Structure 1
Amino acid sequence: MTDTVLRTRVELLHLEGKIERWIRFGHVADEEILDRRRRAFWFRPDSVFAFIRWAAGDHGTLVSRIDILRACHANEAYTTIPGVAPGGEVLLRANGWAKVERVLQLIDQVEALGVQPADACPDHWRHIHNRLAAAEEPRPYTVRRHAAWLSRRSMNR
């Protein structure tokens, strides 16, 4: 099995004012330009990334969605997501512009700490997903929590 088989592929698209698919954060392992409007990014297993999908019709926004995903290993179960092959572990999913905008603000808060969102504890993204689903305010990510995550992660390696 080659390294390429183990990667998660995300196809990005930009049709001005109609369809936009982009990555908000993540450590891209490889990139391919398909044409003027399409690119593909590949992520290694365990990479965390945010994939945003937006589409509009004649009467306004049809789809506004953000998924924060973890790229899976070949033997793991995954959820299929349009534009993501084969799929990924869903850490957070938000639909509707108000929720997507809130998630983007929370990503900005993580970055304000000097932490790359892709390197933040995956449990933080799950926490945000669950709190937003319950219409509750998520706890903020902190430098202390990030240090605990890095310590825990190093012990598991």
Structure 2
Amino acid sequence: MSQHDPRTSVMLIFIRDRVEHWLRFGHDVGEQILDRRRRLIWYAPGAVFAFIRWRANDFGTIVSRVDILGARTRAEACSTVPGVDPGGEILLRQSDWSRVQRVLAAIDMIESAGFDPADIAPHYWRHVHNRLSCGEAPRRYQDDQHRAWLRYRRMGVS
């Protein structure tokens, strides 16, 4: 990816029983298949996506992590995340498979309520992160929250 490319790239990997990097949601703007185990997905600045990383060795799982990120350009401040170039704004980060499963359940809850998880208010993902980090259940995402977020976004503020 060039220095001037504003997109964020995400490396997806699948090596059976060893490494899996996949996306749970997000609206990409491009894809490149590198080989039968790897591909790159690109996101426009500001796009929100969920990136899940799992890794195992001969003794079992050694990494289970989910990150919900806002895509950033190289000129913007961002956090580094393995497999994400240049990085992203971390809205939610959980590790340990039981916590990852709780995040996946929260995403399912958002979808079952009729919302696209990539389009909801980013502060809601921060709320989910904070609640799960202290062992609490996140509150439901509400229609009025979403309407307020859409109005806010239309004003050009994110």
Superposition TM-score, scaled by structure 1 size: 0.94
Task: Map 1:1-157; keep pairs closer than 5 Å.
Answer: 5-156=5-156
2:140 aligned partner, one-letter code: P
Distance between the aligned counterparts of 2:23 and 2:75, measured in 1? 25
Distance, in Å, in 2 between the alignment partners of 1:32 and 1:126 is 30
Which 10-residue stretch deviates more, 12-21 or 128-137? 128-137
SS at match of 1:45: coil
TM-score (norm 2): 0.94
Unaligned runs of 5+ in 1: none
- Cα distance in structure 1, aligned partners of 2:106 and 2:140: 8
- What's the CA shift string for 1:22-74, capped at 9, x where partnerless? 01000010000000010100000000000000011111111000000000134
Number of aligned residue pairs: give it. 156
CA distance in 2, matches of 1:16, 1:145: 40
Q: For residues 17 and 105 of structure 1, what CA distance do their matches in structure 2 show?
A: 23
CA RMSD of aligned residues (A): 1.5
Kindly provide the CA deviation profile for residues 95-150 of structure 1, in whole angstroms up to 9, marking residues without a partner as x: 00010000000001111122110001100100011111222221111222111111
In structure 2, list runs of 5 or more residues that go unmatched.
Answer: none
Paired residues of 1:20 and 1:54 also in contact (CA < 8 A): yes
More helix by share: 1
Question: Would the aligned equivalents of 2:3 and 2:74 in 1 still touch at CA under 8 Å?
Answer: no
Equivalent pairs: percent with the same residue?
Answer: 52
Counterpart code for 1:69: L
Whichever residue aligns with residue 33 of structure 1, its letter is: I
Q: CA deviation at 1:3?
A: 10
Give 3-state SS (helix, strand or coil) of 1:118's partner: coil
* TM superposition outliers: structure 1 runs of 4+ over 3 Å: none
Aligned counterparts of 1:65 and 1:115: Cα–Cα separation in 2: 23
